[in-house]
Amino acid sequence: MKDYYATLGVDVNATQEEIKSAYRRQAKKCHPDCSGQGSEPFLALREAYEVLGDPQRRRAYDAERARARRRHRSAPRRVQPEPLRAQSRSPAPNELHVEVWLTWEQVLYGGDLRLWLPALVRCPACRGWGSLGFWECAYCRGQGVVREEIPFDITIPAGLRDGDVGRLALPQGDLVLVLHFKV
């Protein structure tokens, strides 16, 4: 589910006037005629404002967002992640470096953030066996594992600076976060 609050850079408790002001401010920065970035950032911003700027659509969005959070908390994990794979530019073989882009609101107030990290998980088709009966599993090509992205929730503290580096120790290795700010 898209986080329209993060797109606009406002708190979930923002007033309609704060949402309108944030949209205008961000629109000036990311309009294709001014930013040179193309239309995708501007279209995402406009979509967020169309939902949050309309009180009825905002209530429906907030309700769906709350349902999605409840489903995520109560859903049993179907696959168990295997060790994270190191990405290029990692100085150590058991480190995963991730660049994280934060909104100004996340910088000022902190908050929760969901990252999607690469992992090897047990093949859902053959359940890790690598074969289905006498035949090699076509889904995992006989490996028993497939590469997927799994959700990883972190809490961002308030008062960070651009370029700050955070390190989280995981059983499989270290997760190194390089923090940047959306302008």
Domains and CATH numbers, the chain: 4-74 (1.10.287.110), 95-181 (2.60.260.20)
Higher pLDDT, 71 or 178: 178
Instruction: Give just the sign of the alpha carbon dihedral 37, 43, 44, 48.
Output: positive
Q: What angle do CA 149, 162, 156 make, to 5 degrees?
A: 50
For tokens 């930013």, name the residue: 35
- Does position 20 have pLDDT exceeding 90, yes or no? yes
Q: In the predicted model, is pLDDT for residue 19 greater than 70?
A: yes
pLDDT greater at residue 86 or residue 112: 112
* The residue to which tokens 């769906």 are assigned: 64
pLDDT computed for residue 87 by the predictor: 39
The SS3 assignment for 173 reads strand
Per-residue confidence (pLDDT) for residue 67, from 0 to 100: 83
Read off the pLDDT of each residue in 22-51 and give the average, rounded to a whole number. 82
Q: SS3 of 159, please?
A: coil
Tens-place pLDDT, residues 99-155: 888 887 777 777 787 878 777 888 888 888 888 778 888 888 888 888 888 787 878
Which of the 8 DSSP states describes residue 81? Answer: B
The kind and range of the H/E element at 72 are helix 55-74
Residue 117 confidence (pLDDT): 78
Q: How far apart (Å, rounded) are the C-alpha atoms in residues 86 and 75?
A: 28
pLDDT of residue 16: 93
Give the pLDDT confidence score for residue 183 in this predicted structure: 58
Cα–Cα distance for residue pair 69/177, rounded to 1 Å: 24
Average pLDDT, rounded, for the chain: 78
Mean pLDDT, range 35-53, rounded to an integer: 82
The pLDDT of residue 57 is: 92
Helix/strand/coil for 164: coil
Give me the pLDDT at residue 56, please.
93
pLDDT of res. 151: 82
